[in-house]
Amino acid sequence: MRTIGVFDSGVGGISVLKEILKEFPNDNIIYFGDSLHAPYGDRSIEEIRRLCLKVSDFLVFDKEVDALVIACNTATGAAINIMQERYNIPVVGVVDNGVNEAINSTSNNLIGIIATPATVKMNIYPNTIFKLAPQNSVFQVECPLFVAMIENGWVDSIESDNLIKSYISKFSENIDTLILGCTHYPLITKYISRYFSGKIVNPAKETSKSLKKIIGDGKENLKYNPSRVFFVSGELQKFKKVAEEFLEQPIEDIRKIIL
Ligand code: DGL
């Protein structure tokens, strides 16, 4: 029976997992949230690479997953090429998938991206967009505080609202499409949409669809009872609370691990 490995620096990859669970209800899933080391996006590229290779080696070599989903933009930017070379299984990231949806959605060719400082620094979104659709203009805003606030359980307050407003107001152009370039951000879409009325792109759905194109839908597994195991390197209860709320289902098998 197949196992799909999904990982992120913490709870953000749950936005991708939610779509993976819809597309692959019959497969075993192992999720790894490296919350002890979140936010990745404040770290150097070398450090991000080192951290996420530890996680991916654990999933591929120890847990023998059959496909790997990098449910993290920062990790995708820092390490997807290395991982695709290193492992003999399909490795899918989130960036290309978000870009495809955004370039199909924009009418005025002005695309905005909000992401972690590391993702902005790596320029992976502008580079990918220009390669596929050079007619677009791309504007990036880094949102350094979001990940820590989401990991701790977002509180809807005047302060958090003002923070969203201050980040979104940095877009000087009239962008009509906004890519959530960090998998944590879909957890606060409803708050972001108070300040952005255009199309908000969450790369998660496209990511799980593109994985399905590569590995098929796993219907042959129908007779089994698929397992869902969560490994978390930081505080279990904090992770569980935020993840369950967004997933809208209980997490039963959750284990603490420090690699
Ligand atoms: N969720 C991640 C991303 O998509 C990483 C956030 C972080 O740890 O900084 O970029």
Q: Where are the domains of the chain?
A: 3-93+206-256, 95-203
Q: With bands split at pLDDT 50, 70 and 90, how would you rate the model's confidence at 223? A: low
pTM: 0.97
Judge whether 3-93+206-256 and 95-203 match in fold: yes
The pLDDT tens digits for 121-167 are: 999 999 999 999 999 999 999 999 999 999 999 999 999 999 999 99
What gap in Å lies between CA 74 and CA 91, rounded to an integer?
Answer: 15
Q: How far is the CA of 162 from the centre of ligand 1 (A)?
A: 21
Probe ligand 1: pick from 15, 31, 52, 74, max atoms within 8 Å of CB? 74
Q: How far is the CA of 149 from the centre of ligand 1 (A)?
A: 12
Known active-site residue 143: no
Closest of 95, 129, 117, 97 to residue 47, by C-alpha: 117
Q: With bands split at pLDDT 50, 70 and 90, how would you rate the model's confidence at 111? A: very high
The pLDDT tens digits for 181-210 are: 999 999 999 999 999 999 999 999 999 999
What gap in Å lies between CA 180 and CA 185, rounded to an integer?
Answer: 6
CATH number for the region 95-203 comes to: 3.40.50.1860
Residue whose structure tokens are 């999904």: 6
Asked if residue 195 lies in contact with residue 143, where contact means CB atoms within 8 angstroms, the answer is no
Q: With bands split at pLDDT 50, 70 and 90, how would you rate the model's confidence at 225? A: confident
The CATH number for 3-93+206-256, chosen from 3.30.70.270, 3.40.50.2000, 3.40.190.10, 3.40.50.1860, is 3.40.50.1860
